[in-house]
Chain A
Amino acid sequence: MTIANIDAAWIDAALTAARPQAVAALLRYFRDLDTAEEAFQDACLRALKAWPKNGPPRDPTAWLILVGRNAALDGVRKQSKSSPLPPEELISDLEDAEATLVDRLDGEHYRDDVLRLLFICCHPDLPATQQVAVALRIVSGLSVRQIARAFLVGESAMEQRITRAKARIGAAAVPFGAPDLEERAQRLNTVAAMVYLVFNEGYSAGGKELLTRGALCDEAIRLARLLLRLFPGEPEVMGLTALLLLQHARAPARFDSDGAVVLLEDQDRALWNGRMIAEGLALIDKAVRHRRPGPYLVQAAIAAEHDRAERPEDTNWQRIDLLYGDLEQLAPSPVVTLNRAVAVSKVAGPEAALAMIEPLAPKLSGYFHFFGLRGGLLLQLGRRDEARVAFDQAIALANTAAEAAHIRLHLDRLMKEGAGG
């Protein structure tokens, strides 16, 4: 990269990419989230001035940490009227200072810094959506406006929500000690769940909302890759990253031009993102070598079975059924059993699947997909009146307009057939 062609877009992307590491290191240094964020902001402003002139530093992250730290210290010094630190134009030439910092960044210290930054966003008192909002603000650096758009709420409402959540985080004791092995594993679990939440916020968006909310999926993949770089030997982090990639690979085919849901079996598979699928499959291969399958890896393996099938009829439902069986053991939940029932309906027929989901009714009485699947199975069995009731219940519980519209299609077909016969 020559100095001449370093443009604003490149700097912007570099600052975004460096943010989690830089804010995390500054948080360790200042032990205060607001100070760390301000210091990073300061460093970014200086980068925008210095980098076009001097070219990008060898290690942008290290540069931002060093300059951010000095800027914040400088602020303190100015308040106490002592002498300022040298300007960052000089700092960017101090290769030695950068080198020592880079050495330190490579250490385990640094890995725990980023984990800590992600972990404090997962404060147990914060509802899931607030954890996601705070992580997007602090770790990913999305603007309040971007986050508000992604959550389909007003900007001032989101601003308030984030401010309140941050106050809660600030009041809690941030764990600055180095975590032991068990603590680290626990933090990693919590953080992985939060990254998955970020993804689902984007993934559950309807077709029309996809433009604004779909960005959350990209953001979640970025966070998952960041975790994977920090913890390269963790099979569940490989599994999580693979799962997100393999699901997001189908995004271009999941909705038609009117924003209506296109079911997996009706999707134009040529639209699937082959590169994401290749990366997801490669990560599964890596994770499988550890012979410690966890819930994310098994879910990724299920997604991979769908992604591997060139046509819907090539899908290996038997294998998917087995994998859901594994998942029921690892992470039992009625929703997992409900999903398994789809595979069972393909392998053993709708009757077996229906028998499998009937006992779930009390637990899933408020779940859109339960009634959607129930209606579909009843329809396959020719029990049309019962199917209609189930579809009506599904529509009442639909989370998005696209979901409701999809069920309405079934209903319309039933009505037409009813009139004809």
Chain B
Amino acid sequence: MLYAILCYNFEDVVGAWSPAEDAAVMARLGAVEAGLAAAERLGATARLLPTTAAVTLRKGREPLVIDGPFAETKEQLLGFYVVDCGDLEAAIAVARDLAAANPDRGAYEIRPLAVYRPGHLTGARARRVHRRRAGA
């Protein structure tokens, strides 16, 4: 089974860290990641830019782009994509395609990444997932 671990914290507080503090935290997390990576258990990891850099595509008959992060608490986080896009317009276009494919309800928050590492998932469990996808 693959698990996603989603990181939540106080953005204000994290944003007020000095570069040295930030680097120290990242180094401590990096040590944990290194152990997982060595065991080929670590998939893609990402650190997001602040919520102020986000826009949200609200699904509907005419999907609406709203400035700012996803703010409602009625819906739950169900998944995410990481897509390489030239600019925000390209990212919004992808979200529009996704919304057209699954138009019912909800929203897509579009947030640029600060850090992205593709990961090292080459173990048996990951291969099983790959095969399943290849067979589909």
**Helix, strand, loop or mixed for chain B's interface?**
mixed
Cβ of A278 and Cβ of B67 under 8 Å apart? Answer: no
Judge whether A16 and B49 touch: CB under 8 Å. no
A228: contacting residue among B10, B17, B52, B115, CB under 8 A: B52
| Interface pair B114/A275, CB less than 8 Å apart | yes
Whether B87 sits at the interface, judged by CB under 8 Å, is yes
Question: Do the beta carbons of A285 and B88 come within 8 Å of each other?
Answer: yes
Q: Which of B21, B53, B114 contacts A286 (CB 8 A)?
A: B53
Q: Are B112 and A279 in contact (CB under 8 A)?
A: yes
B49 touches A279 (CB 8 A): yes
Asked whether any CB of chain B lies closer than 8 Å to the CB of A10, the reply is yes
Name the prevailing secondary structure of the A interface residues: helix
CB proximity of B51 to chain A, nearest CB, Å: 8
B37 at the interface (CB under 8 A from A): no
Q: A283-B52, A285-B89, A289-B65 given. 18 additional CB < 8 A pairs?
A: A1-B9, A13-B12, A13-B13, A13-B17, A17-B15, A17-B16, A222-B15, A222-B16, A232-B67, A233-B66, A275-B49, A279-B50, A279-B53, A282-B88, A283-B53, A286-B53, A289-B88, A289-B89
Residues of A within 8 A of B (CB): 1, 9-10, 13-14, 16-18, 60, 222, 225, 228-229, 232-233, 238, 241, 275, 278-279, 282-283, 285-286, 289
**Chain A CB within 8 A of B57 CB:** no
Bound Cα distance from A278 to B115, whole angstroms: 10
B107 sits at the interface (CB 8 A)? no
What are the 3 tightest A-B residue pairs by CB atom distance, in nearest-first order?
A17-B12, A232-B68, A285-B88
A233-B67, A233-B68 in contact; A282/B10 too (CB < 8 A)? no
Tell me which residues across on chain B come within 8 A of A282, comparing CB atoms: 49, 53, 88, 112
- Residue pair A229, B52 in contact (C-beta under 8 Å): yes
In the complex, how many angstroms separate the beta carbon of B11 from the nearest chain A beta carbon? 9
Q: Which of B51-100 contact A (CB under 8 A)?
A: 51-53, 55, 65-68, 87-89
Contact A18 B88, CB 8 Å, known A225-B52, A232-B67, A279-B50: no
Q: Identify the B interface with A (CB < 8 A).
A: 9-10, 12-13, 15-17, 21, 49-53, 55, 65-68, 87-89, 112, 114-115
Cβ contact within 8 Å between A10 and B13: yes
19 A-B pairs in the complex with CB atoms less than 8 angstroms apart? A9-B21, A14-B10, A14-B12, A17-B16, A60-B10, A229-B68, A232-B67, A233-B66, A241-B52, A275-B114, A275-B115, A278-B114, A279-B49, A279-B112, A282-B49, A283-B53, A286-B67, A286-B88, A289-B88
CA distance A9 to B66 in the complex (A): 35
Residues of B contacting A232 with CB < 8 Å?
A: 52, 67-68
CA distance A407 to B13 in the complex (A): 41
In the bound complex, what is the Cα–Cα distance between A279 and B53 (angstroms)? 6
Contact of B13 among A14, A233, A278 (CB under 8 A): A14
- What CA separation (Å) do A14 and B67 show in the bound complex? 26
Interchain nearest-CB distance for B39 vs A (Å): 26
| Cα(A117)–Cα(B88), bound, Å | 33
A285-B88, A289-B88 given as contacts; is B65 within 8 A of A278 (CB)? no
Q: When chains A and B are docked, how far (Å) is the Cα of A414 from the Cα of B87? A: 46
